[in-house]
Amino acid sequence: MRLMLAKDDVEERELRSIRIGDLWVLLTRVEGTLFALDDQCNHAGCLLSGGWLEGSEVVCPCHGRRYDVRSGRNTTVPRLGGDQERYPLDLVGGEVLVELPERPRR
With a cut of 50, say whether residue 105 has pLDDT above it.
no
Reported as a single tens digit per residue, the pLDDT across 21-32 is 778 899 999 999
* pLDDT at 1 (0 to 100): 53
**Domains of the chain and any CATH numbers:** 2-91 (2.102.10.10)
Instruction: Give the residue among 86, 82, 73, 75 at the shortest CA–CA distance from 35.
Output: 86
pLDDT band at 9; cut points 50, 70, 90: confident
pTM greater than 0.85 (yes/no): yes
Q: Strand, helix or coil at 37? A: strand
How many C-beta atoms surround the C-beta of residue 27 within 10 A?
Answer: 24
pLDDT band at 68; cut points 50, 70, 90: very high
